[in-house]
Structures are given as structure tokens and as C-alpha cells.
Amino acid sequence: MYKLIALLLLAFTASAQMPIPALIPAPQTLEPGTGSFAITAQTRLAILTPVADVRRMVMDNLPGIPASDAPKLTRAITVRLAPVAGIGPEGYDLVITPTGVTLTAPEAAGLFYGLQTMRQLMPVAKTVRGQSIPALHIRDQPRFGWRGLMLDVSRHFFDKQFVKRYIDQMATYKFNIFHWHLSDDQGWRIQINSLPKLTEIGAWRVPRTGSWNEIENPQPGEVPSYGGFYTQDDIREIVQYAQQRNITIVPEIDMPGHMMAAIAAYPALTCGQKQVLVPTNGKFYKVEDNTLNPCNYGTYLFIDKVLTEIAQLFPGPYIHIGGDEAYKGFWSGCEECKTTMTVNNLKTVEELQSYFIRRVEKIVQSKGKKLIGWDEILEGGLAPNATVMSWRGMKGGIEAAKQGHPVIMTPAQFCYLDLYQGEPSAEPSTYSMARLSTSYSFEPVPDSVRADLILGGQGNLWTESVPNNRHAEYMTWPRAFAIAEVLWSPKNQRNWPDFMKRVEAHFKRFDAQDVNYALSVYNPIV
Ligand code: TNX
């Protein structure tokens, strides 16, 4: 009798409709099935590809389930590399029934994302075995090929372990670009063997009080007390770590402005050749001290050396050269620049900046890479093959697309992760506002431009006021959930109330993983 009841109960749970799972980003299509698939000690992985890297990737993402090459497996999780009609390289098809799971994708990237979806279907637990996943059929692929997050490691340094953890979180939410802002005024963070002072001097700063004058005149006995950098071995390790998670790293070396750390190490890079120190965050420093001299051959030799090593370290196709907020006014008072402008018939400092970026583009291309810059590189004329990252709203991106250039949309009001996300008096100090609901309403493709030129978008975490790991996570999540969904899921499926329910479920996952996030979404603006 009891056996019969138990059997009936089992049959009932197996056939009951499970709730629609809280997936972020939402998949392209999801048809709920009946019942669920239980992962038991008997479950085996049938990986139908001989490619060793792919087999390892599958096993890493479903740890504890043994792979088997036995020809007839029952109740198996079958993973196949095979074409699926209508599904591109990052897409996948996932069928879950009570008797088996089949994940099919045309490429390893799609399998990886199918596995991320499977992991999200499981409540967070240390082991995969023992979990049940709901029966369903998902066909999924991203809306955009560029789904990025940017981390500024100059204004505050984030170590290798943190960067890997950040990359893990990104991969879970199907981001595929990690834009690594490796240099800025407040610190140079990547070892360059041919220019050792960049990290011996440029990676370290002395906290100061007072005005910029004191920064120019160091006091004897002061020692650097804040800083850090990645060795080239660290970089190679992180590049490989990201590659295993379908994440391409886009390194950024910001020039000609935002260069004070490099200038502190090599003062000859500026017109005045003045000795400066690596500045601290929030302290006054003269911006004209942070700008390279675009009119001296030595500057281009320096850039060539840096980009030679950058190109060797990062296998991805792009190098980001910054280009934002350069203090160009200073150049018109520089004797060398007066000559350069006359000889090259450059009428304005904007044209001089464009001359600089064009020369840098030639260097980037000589290393086999493509140039990306912030939207200021439009001023004075775009370099011929540049990709533009639009941050001052969408207008720079629209203008670049009209000129036929590829664009990444990252307008500050939707995509900046360093801004307030709730009532400022209840939040860590920063400036301006980007609510979760605002980030969720971001639409990367404006009317009036060729949609194929909009590669995608990204969230940017600037860290002037983000001093540590927990704070970086707090600023990133949940806004990066919204950006992940904007960049992956179909536009017409966006649904704020449903998204908020799923955000709640993912907060619980983060609690279990000890990842920090902001609850400020509940915090009304007064
Ligand atoms: C502008 S966005 C900057 C950064 C700052 C950021 C602060 C951009 C290309 N430049 O240098 O960190 O604002 O939100």
C-alpha cells in the first residue's frame, strides 16, 4: 500500500509542470515540458566529440558526472557538436525530458552557453549530482556578438584572483568580452618588459593631501603605499582562463590623455618633460600633465614598444587605445606641435589628435590588430578602420555608424556601473545616477543607423570611488544582469516585472556564493 502511494507520488512529481526557471539572460525560446530530469549517481555524460578541449570544458561545467563512451546509455546527458538549423556559433539547443538531456550546438561557444543555462536551472549547490532540472526545450542564441563588461584596474587595483572571479561571474551571465582598462593616470598595471619603469614607478602612488603643487614637489622620505600590477605570466594565465569561458579580452592602453602614470615613469613623453608623480584618486592634478606629446617621434616609439608586447600577450583581434578626454589645448603652446601642425597642415588641435590616432592605428595594424577608441576619436576625423565606443550618449556611435564604422554602444546614463543606483544618501559616494530600471531600458540600436554596424554594448565599471572587491561587485550587480539581458535576449521579450522576479532568484544564488550586490533597486529616489 505504502509502496503504491510512493509510486503514485513519484509519478505525480515527475509529470507535474515545474515553474518556469529564473534564467538570466532570458533565452530566445523556452517551451516548458512535463516533469524533470534527476541527475543521480548513475547519470553519465555522453560527449559526442573527440575534441579534447571541448570534452574538458563540458566536464568542468558539470563536475562530478562521469563521462562514458558506452554506445547505449540510458538516462544520459548527451552533448553534441553539430549544426542546428537557424542557430549561430554562440547558440545552442537544449532538450530536457525525464529520461534524458540533449545539448546540441554548432560550436564550443554554444555548448558553453548551454551548460551555463543548465547550471542556472539547478538551485545553487556544491555538487551537480542530486539535482533535478525541469523538462523543457530551449533554443537560444545571442542578439549581439559584443556583450562586454569593462573593469578599470588603474584607479584601484584588483588582483588576479578577483579578476578571475569577475570573469566567472561574467561567463555565467553570457558576457563574452572583458574590456580591461589597464592604464590611466592613477596607475599603470601591466608589465612591459622593454619599459620596466612603467611598473617600477607607474604602478605605485604616494597618498597625498593638499594641492597639485605638492604632487609636483615630492617630499623626501615619502614611499609609495598603494599600487600593484599584473606580470606577463599573470596576464597569460588570465587570458587562458577567459578563453576557456568564451571571453575575449580587449586590453586598453588609454592615450594620449589619461597617461600620467606612464609620464611619471618616462617624463620625456610630454612636451614640457616635467617630472610628475602618479596621482591619487580625487586629488587635484593638472590635466595638462597627463597628455602625451603627439609631435615627437619618441612618443610613437614608446607606443610601438608597448603595443608590441600587448599584441603578443592578448590573442583577441582588438586593442583599445582610449582617446578620451585628452587635454588638447596644451598642445597649441608646445613648440614641437607648432611645427608638426604647420608641416602637416593641421588647423586645429582636434585635427592634431586625429593625426595622432591615425598614426597609432598604423602601429596597431602593424601588430595585426584592429583599433577601438572612445568616441572622442571622431573629433578631427576618424582613423580609417577604427571601431568607436560611444560613451557620451549614443550620438558619437550614431555619427560613426553613419560614416560606415563599427560601433559599440556604452552610453553612460545606461551602462556606467560607477554611478549611483539608488537614493544617494543611502549609497556609497559617487556621482550621477543609473538605476537598474534605466539599464534595463537600454536599446543599443538607434533608429536611423545600419543595425549590422552596432556590434553590441557593454557595462563599464570605473573605479575612482570603488576601492575594493566587495564594492566592485556591489556596483556591478544587479545592473550587469540588466545589461546581459539587453545584449543577449530578443528585444520584444523584455519584461521588467518578470526580470525583477528573476533578479530576486539570482540574489539568492549570489548569497550562496558570497558575491556582493546592491539592493538599491528597492530604494526610491526622493
Ligand atoms: C569618464 S568614460 C571617463 C573615465 C572616468 C569616468 C567616470 C571615459 C572614456 N572616460 O576616465 O573614469 O568618466 O564615470
The pLDDT tens digits of the residues spanning 412-442 come to 999 999 999 999 988 999 999 999 999 999 9
Statement to judge: residues 466 and 486 lie in one domain: yes
Position in ligand 1 atom list of the atom nearest CA 391: 2
Q: Percentage of the chain surpassing pLDDT 90?
A: 83
346 has a pLDDT exceeding 70? yes
Average the pLDDT over each of 77-86, 114-123, 273-282, 425-434 and give the range with the smallest value.
273-282
Statement to judge: residues 305 and 422 lie in one domain: no
Please determine, for the modelled complex, whether the ipTM score is greater than 0.90.
Answer: yes
Region of residue 517 (left: phi > 0; alpha: psi -120 to 50; beta: else): beta
Statement to judge: residues 243 and 261 lie in one domain: yes
- HSE of 106, CA atoms in CB hemisphere, 13 A: 12
HEC assignment per residue over 185-228: CCEECECCCCCCHHHHCCCEECCCCCCHHHHHCCCCCCCCCEEC
Statement to judge: residues 202 and 135 lie in one domain: no
Q: Candidates 325, 408, 421, 433: which one to mutate for ligand 1, based on the most atoms within 8 Å of Cβ? A: 325
Position in ligand 1 atom list of the atom nearest CA 464: 12
Choose one of 319, 354, 376: the last residue of a domain: 376
**Span 316-330, mean pLDDT?**
94
Position in ligand 1 atom list of the atom nearest CA 460: 2
| Minimal-distance CA residue to ligand 1 atom 4 | 462
Choose one of 341, 376, 411: the last residue of a domain: 376
- pLDDT of 365-405, one tens digit each? 999 999 999 999 999 999 999 999 999 999 999 999 999 99
Please tell me the total count of domains within the chain: 3
pLDDT of residue 207: 64
Per the DSSP assignment, residues forming a β-bridge with 407 are 388, 454
Cα(111) to centroid(ligand 1), Å: 36
Q: Percentage of the chain surpassing pLDDT 70?
A: 91
List active site positions: 325
| Minimal-distance CA residue to ligand 1 atom 13 | 462
Q: Is residue 500 part of a domain?
A: yes
Crossing angle for the helix pair 297-313 and 232-243, to the nearest 10 degrees: 50
Cell representation of residue 164: 578571475
pLDDT of residue 218: 59
pTM exceeds 0.90, yes or no: yes
Q: Which residue has the higher pLDDT, 209 or 56?
A: 56
Are the C-beta atoms of 163 and 238 separated by less than 8 Å?
Answer: yes
Q: Is residue 104 part of a domain?
A: yes
Listed in sequence order, the residues at least 6 apart from 175 whose beta carbon sits closer than 8 Å to its beta carbon are 147, 148, 149, 247, 480, 484, 487
Cα(186) to centroid(ligand 1), Å: 13
Cα(163) to centroid(ligand 1), Å: 20
pLDDT of residue 277: 84
**125 CB-contact burial (10 Å; exposed 0-12 / middle 13-18 / buried 19+):** exposed
Are the C-beta atoms of 440 and 486 separated by less than 8 Å?
Answer: yes
Cα(462) to centroid(ligand 1), Å: 7
Statement to judge: residues 431 and 407 lie in one domain: yes
Cα(41) to centroid(ligand 1), Å: 51
Statement to judge: residues 349 and 408 lie in one domain: no
Per the DSSP assignment, residues forming a β-bridge with 156 are none
Which residue segment(s) compose the domain that 359 sits in? 190-212+228-280+288-376
Is 254 touching ligand 1 by the criterion CB < 6 Å? no
Report cis status (omega within 30 of 0) of the bond before 524: no
Q: 319: domain CATH number?
A: 3.20.20.80
Statement to judge: residues 250 and 369 lie in one domain: yes
524 has a pLDDT exceeding 60? yes
Statement to judge: residues 357 and 401 lie in one domain: no
Is 481 touching ligand 1 by the criterion CB < 6 Å? no
Cα–Cα distance between 412 and 420 in angstroms, integer? Answer: 12
18 has a pLDDT exceeding 80? no
Q: Is residue 217 part of a domain?
A: no
pLDDT of residue 279: 84
**Whole-number Cα distances in Å, 263 to 75, 314, 340, 348:** 63, 24, 21, 24
| Minimal-distance CA residue to ligand 1 atom 10 | 324
Q: Is residue 410 part of a domain?
A: yes
Listed in sequence order, the residues at least 6 apart from 157 whose beta carbon sits closer than 8 Å to its beta carbon are 187, 189, 203, 226, 227, 228, 229
Per the DSSP assignment, residues forming a β-bridge with 32 are 136
Cα(158) to centroid(ligand 1), Å: 18
pLDDT of residue 82: 96
509 has a pLDDT exceeding 60? yes
Statement to judge: residues 465 and 519 lie in one domain: yes
Statement to judge: residues 355 and 269 lie in one domain: yes
- pLDDT of 211-245, one tens digit each? 554 555 556 566 667 899 999 999 999 999 999 99
Are the C-beta atoms of 141 and 212 separated by less than 8 Å?
Answer: no
Is 168 touching ligand 1 by the criterion CB < 6 Å? no
Is 287 touching ligand 1 by the criterion CB < 6 Å? no
Crossing angle for the helix pair 108-121 and 52-61, to the nearest 10 degrees: 10
Per the DSSP assignment, residues forming a β-bridge with 226 are 205
pLDDT of residue 223: 66
Choose one of 342, 376, 410: the last residue of a domain: 376
Quickly state the pLDDT bin for 33 (edges 50, 70, 90). very high
pLDDT of residue 461: 98
| Minimal-distance CA residue to ligand 1 atom 5 | 462
Quickly state the pLDDT bin for 123 (edges 50, 70, 90). confident
Cα 239–243–247 angle (5° rounding)? 95
Is 391 touching ligand 1 by the criterion CB < 6 Å? yes
Q: Is residue 416 part of a domain?
A: yes
Is 420 touching ligand 1 by the criterion CB < 6 Å? no
Q: Is residue 41 part of a domain?
A: yes
Statement to judge: residues 200 and 346 lie in one domain: yes
Statement to judge: residues 342 and 255 lie in one domain: yes
Is 376 touching ligand 1 by the criterion CB < 6 Å? no
Q: Is residue 523 part of a domain?
A: yes
Q: Is residue 222 part of a domain?
A: no
Position in ligand 1 atom list of the atom nearest CA 258: 11
